[in-house]
Amino acid sequence: MLDLTTLSFSSVVSRAAYCAVFLVLALRQREKSYLWHWLGAILASLLGAIMLTREPTNLTLPMLESMLIFTLYMISLVLSWSGLRRFYGLHFHTYAIVATIILIVTPALACLLGPWFNVSKTAISSIYFLCATAASIMVVAEILIARREDLWSQIVVAVAFSIYAMGFAFSAGMLILTDLQISTETARVTIIFDQVNSVLVYVGYVAMSGERANLQLRHQADTDALTGLFNRRGIQHALAKLDLKHPESTVCVLLGDLDHFKKINDTLGHEGGDAVLKIFAKRLKNLMRRDDIAVRWGGEEFLIVLTHTTIDEAGAFAERLRRHIESEPFVIASQAINVTISIGVAEIERPQETFDKAIGRADDALYQAKHNGRNRVCR
């Protein structure tokens, strides 16, 4: 069986190692403020763990040292929470700041004032455990209730803090309701529990950061930087996500090409042409439903995939888009420019026809539209 000193020592060493990892991460990505919060959280708990190596049950320590340890652990929990808020890009409301200050200060005040009012060390510890429970619940709520991002790794952190919350609540309950004294055995279990759980938390943070960076990279690789629409690579991923399993569901493709774009470039310059492309993409997105897919297919050519849409509905959509572009001039650097679009429409003959073939037919229809005088829709 491992003795308390060895367990406390390993707790300090593992926290020191995580500090080193987070320091490197934070220094490499200084703009990511959440990494600094989490580094602070680990540092505070490292200092707390160092202080506890002297007396892991924290019962015979002088009150001032106990106060410091409780404060450090509360700071660590609060920084975990604030780091999460920064991670999700959220600001701190005044009520949340007040709540966190209360959580940090309460156990410290209990340590300071407790002896004056003959409050036992056990009761003071239970106040700390109650505050720690509240802080852990705040972290879990931040992740689970808000569900701001679809990251699997955040579930690891939420589970770890749920276990912390239950552990803290259990400890507070035991201290309040029973005569339980913090024995060597209790301290041993607590340190092992904390050791395992803290690994889940810190590895979870690193995984959250990595998972999000991965998703962002994939998003960038799939997206056209100028318009924010999918690029040719992205459509493969977008199509894979679509529910096309039902053979009855009709899918249509539209291929649109802005008319005389070369002239627009000649008039406004390349940057002006870029601005036209951006505005067009914005207007297109405003007309689309959630499941529709828009792709920048080439320079001024756009592919639109409409699911659960018949060819008549797709034709009507194309006509609506054409009129919307024609009717409202594009304003570029205070200059109003009339823009028109030609669109070819085709329905994918499912299940035998491939997307490429249907796009080929939409391209033929687009050619027809250009050939017939532009600013029109052809099937």
Ligand X SMILES: Nc1nc2c(ncn2[C@@H]2O[C@H](COP(=O)(O)OP(=O)(O)OP(=O)(O)O)[C@@H](O)[C@H]2O)c(=O)[nH]1
Minimum distance between the CB of residue 298 and ligand X, rounded to whole angstroms? 7
Q: Does 274 bind ligand X (CB under 6 A)?
A: yes
User: Is the Cβ–Cβ distance between 372 and 342 less than 8 Å?
Assistant: no
Range in contact with ligand X (rule: CB under 6 A) among 122-130, 183-191, 267-275, 326-334: 267-275
- The Cα-based distances of 335 to 166, 264, 276 in angstroms read 63, 12, 11
Evaluate whether 251 touches 310 at the Cβ level (below 8 Å).
Answer: no
Is 370 among the residues that bind ligand X (CB under 6 A)? yes
DSSP 88-116: TTPPPPHHHHHHHHHHHHHHHHHHHHGGG
Residue type, 123: A
Q: Binding residue for ligand X (CB under 6 A) from 106, 265, 307, 338?
A: 265
**274/319 with CB nearer ligand X:** 274
d(CA 273, CA 262): 9
* Under 8 Å between Cβ of 53 and 8: yes
Residue range at the interface with ligand X (CB under 6 A); choices 185-193, 202-210, 231-239, 256-264: 256-264
In the three-class reduction of DSSP (H, G, I as helix; E, B as strand; rest coil), residue 298 is classed as: coil
Asked if residue 260 binds ligand X (CB under 6 A), the reply is yes
x/- contact string, 177-216, with ligand X (CB under 6 A)?
A: ----------------------------------------
Smallest separation, CB 266 to ligand X (Å) = 8
Closest approach of ligand X to the CB of residue 344, in Å: 12
Q: Does 273 bind ligand X (CB under 6 A)?
A: yes
CB neighbour class for 21 (10 Å; exposed up to 12, middle 13-18, buried from 19): middle
Residue among 193 and 367 whose Cβ is closer to ligand X:
367
Distance CA 134, CA 118 (A): 25
Of 26-34, 90-98, 268-276, 302-310, the segment contacting ligand X by CB under 6 A is: 268-276
Task: Check if the beta carbon of residue 241 is closer than 8 Å to that of residue 338.
Answer: no
Exactly one of 262, 285, 289, 357 binds ligand X (CB under 6 A); that residue is 262
Residues in a beta bridge with 177? none
- Alpha-carbon distance of 269 to 264, in angstroms, equals 8
- In the complex with ligand X, which residue's Cβ is closer, 233 or 289? 233
| Half-sphere exposure at residue 329, Cβ-oriented, CA atoms within 13 angstroms | 9
- Region of residue 333 (phi > 0: left; psi between -120 and 50: alpha; otherwise: beta): left
Least distance to ligand X, CB of residue 252, Å = 22
Nearer to ligand X, 91 or 270 (CB): 270
Number of residues that bind ligand X (CB under 6 A): 15
Report in angstroms how near the CB of residue 357 gets to ligand X at its nearest: 23
Angle between helices 121-144 and 63-87 (to 10 degrees): 0
Q: Which position among 142, 259, 292, 363 is part of the footprint of ligand X (CB under 6 A)?
A: 259
Phi, psi of 46 (to 5 degrees): -65, -45
Q: Is 142 in the site for ligand X (CB under 6 A)?
A: no
Name which position in 142, 224, 257, 347 contacts ligand X (CB under 6 A).
257
d(CA 254, CA 232): 15
Site mask for ligand X (CB under 6 A), range 286-325, x = bound: -------------xx-------------------------
State the DSSP code for 117. Answer: G
Q: How far is the CB of 299 from ligand X (least distance, A)?
A: 2
Task: Give yes or no for residue 261 binding ligand X (CB under 6 A).
Answer: yes
The reply to whether 363 sits near ligand X by the rule CB under 6 A is: no
Residue closer to ligand X, measured from CB, 32 or 260: 260
Verify binding: residue 326, ligand X, rule CB under 6 A: no
Distance CA(26)–CA(23), nearest Å, equals 5
**Using CB under 6 A as the criterion, which residues of the chain lie in contact with ligand X when the complex forms?**
257-262, 265, 270, 273-274, 277, 299-300, 370, 374
